[in-house]
Structure 1
């Protein structure tokens, strides 16, 4: 009997459009001789099973099931490919925990924590061989005083970003003080990001993104790193998703010591944060010091054919379908 997989997509933020592209790619890679795959679209308008050609049926939220042709479909596992809230911030994971449905991502607490960039940096700050940029975390009641609080503690240029956002939505690189208030307002007002803003000092260096996952045997596998070189001011939403603006080099040109050091750091991050499934860690390699600087962790990374994780899976010598099968098998254990 085939394993019944709920491929969860959609979401409540602007990242939903990326979720749909990611889930379409994952669906195309899953072995339909092993899995009965049902695409579940979660939006502010409702939760629906997508049955093709525009047909859909409401999800029974009592037990996350579908009623089709007089039959009740209950799932063995949820493959979460929903970027942003509620799939990446722990809300969906908490619900699945309550109804007893296994899933492929980090747990509720880890997911909620890692969506908060400032809190995550605090937990990782003492890991050997990793550095974190100086930063200021601002809450909504700091909005009027934000410029002063930032300028008192940080030196230009700054990166200003929603503390709980993704895909670089609401993010700005600030080169001069006159730009700061507008950048803070943009980050505070980004949709569904909790009205918290993280401001960091700029780190000059090469940017990398690297995946890690736990396979069905329980082994931690670090994938080859990707170096990101963009013609944009920084790796913003357009750089991530508009073809031709960014060069992505997989595997990245790192020497052996740098590769080994990155792998040690990423494994420690995974363990320290109690991660599950696949995650992706973004970091800088500072030009003048050769030090690694943590940027952020993504617990539901993009999964289009061009996304970092599929690139890295292929560079590792693995087929994407086999990779997703490992995630499912690990979740079912």
Structure 2
């Protein structure tokens, strides 16, 4: 009997359109001989299934079901393609866990933790994982450019603490631009993290649980046409992704082991991707 799969897409953040594209790719490619895929749009004001005729059918949020043409549809699994909240920060995962509906992401705690840059760094540092020097601000805190520059130096990156895909990020080269960059980041989140600039080769390492073993995939080098791997570089073709990365065998093994360590220590599930910059020859987690 074929499984009913809800492909969750959309979300509440600036990454809505990216998520819709991701979800549609899954919808088009899921094996119809094994699965009945449903496009589930999860928006701030409404959740609904897009029917074959592109007509929306509202989701019953009390049990995550939908009625189409008089037939009640329940879901065997949720394929989560939401970028940002509520699909990456643990909210959707917690909701589905309460309903006992399997989903393709890690559990709610791991999702919430890995979406919060400050908290994730704090958890990983005791394991010897190198990161940029960072400075943290809450919305309403006084912004002190002199203190920030003293801590992290220039240039630096000002980022929304809980956001992805390079929304709310500014590379700051002059102290006078820090306050403006913080205000820009606060449009995406109520917390801001400022990080020191790491000059070096940027790489991405995928990790997956395969046959009961944590396995690192080949390392991919990221070369952006822009000053950093921003939205345009990620989604509008302004970057190169080179696999395998042009780093030494020793560096490859080292960064793969670190990525696997992160996966194990955080008790991740399914697949994950960790990004690093080789700064002064050492991989720094970003």
TM > 0.5:
yes
Q: For residues 257-298 of structure 1, what are the alpha-carbon distances to aligned partners after superposition, in whole Å with 9 as ceiling and x for unaligned? A: 122111110111011112112211111011xx3100000xxx
Partner of 1:145: 143
Higher relative CO (CA 8 A, sep ≥ 6), structure 1 or 2? Answer: 1
Measure, in 1, the Cα distance between the counterparts of 2:270 and 2:217.
13
> Are the counterparts in 1 of residues 63 and 99 from structure 2 also a CA contact under 8 Å?
yes
- SS of the equivalent of 2:78 reads strand
Shift of 1:126: 2.6
Q: Supply the RMSD in Å over aligned alpha carbons.
A: 1.3
Shift of 1:237: 1.1
- SS of the equivalent of 1:239 reads helix
Q: For residues 104-147 of structure 1, what are the alpha-carbon distances to aligned partners after superposition, in whole Å with 9 as ceiling and x for unaligned? A: 1011111111111011011111324x3111101111131x3342
Matches within 5 A, 1:121-200: 121-128=121-128, 130-142=129-141, 144-190=142-188, 193=189, 195-200=190-195
> Are the counterparts in 2 of residues 6 and 77 from structure 1 also a CA contact under 8 Å?
yes
> Are the counterparts in 1 of residues 145 and 176 from structure 2 also a CA contact under 8 Å?
no
> Are the counterparts in 2 of residues 225 and 250 from structure 1 also a CA contact under 8 Å?
yes
Measure, in 1, the Cα distance between the counterparts of 2:267 and 2:148.
31
Q: For residues 140-195 of structure 1, what are the alpha-carbon distances to aligned partners after superposition, in whole Å with 9 as ceiling and x for unaligned? A: 131x33424413422111111000011100100111101111111101122xx2x1
Shift of 1:208: 1.0
* 2:270 aligned with 1:277: yes
**Cα distance change, pair 146–43 in 1 and its aligned pair in 2 (3 A):** farther
Measure, in 2, the Cα distance between the counterparts of 1:280 and 1:81.
15
**Cα distance change, pair 292–56 in 1 and its aligned pair in 2 (3 A):** same
> Are the counterparts in 2 of residues 146 and 184 from structure 1 also a CA contact under 8 Å?
no
Aligned length: 286
**Cα distance change, pair 146–47 in 1 and its aligned pair in 2 (3 A):** farther
Measure, in 1, the Cα distance between the counterparts of 2:23 and 2:201.
30
The runs of at least 4 consecutive aligned structure 1 residues that moved more than 4 Å come to none
Measure, in 2, the Cα distance between the counterparts of 1:134 and 1:40.
40
Q: TM-score, normalised by structure 2?
A: 0.96
Partner of 2:236: 242
Partner of 2:52: 52
Partner of 1:81: 81
> Are the counterparts in 2 of residues 127 and 265 from structure 1 also a CA contact under 8 Å?
no
Structure 2 regions of 5+ residues with no counterpart?
Answer: none
Measure, in 2, the Cα distance between the counterparts of 1:230 and 1:18.
19
- Of 215, 222, 229, which residue of structure 2 is paired with 1:228? 222
Q: TM-score, normalised by structure 1?
A: 0.83
Partner of 1:12: 12
* 2:285 aligned with 1:294: yes
Q: For residues 215-248 of structure 1, what are the alpha-carbon distances to aligned partners after superposition, in whole Å with 9 as ceiling and x for unaligned? A: 4x332221112111112111111121222x2111
> Are the counterparts in 1 of residues 219 and 256 from structure 2 also a CA contact under 8 Å?
no
Measure, in 2, the Cα distance between the counterparts of 1:3 and 1:218.
24
Shift of 1:35: 0.8
Structure 1 regions of 5+ residues with no counterpart?
Answer: 296-333
- SS of the equivalent of 2:19 reads helix
Partner of 2:94: 94
Measure, in 2, the Cα distance between the counterparts of 1:265 and 1:162.
25
- SS of the equivalent of 2:254 reads helix
Q: For residues 54-89 of structure 1, what are the alpha-carbon distances to aligned partners after superposition, in whole Å with 9 as ceiling and x for unaligned? A: 212001111111112222111111110000000110
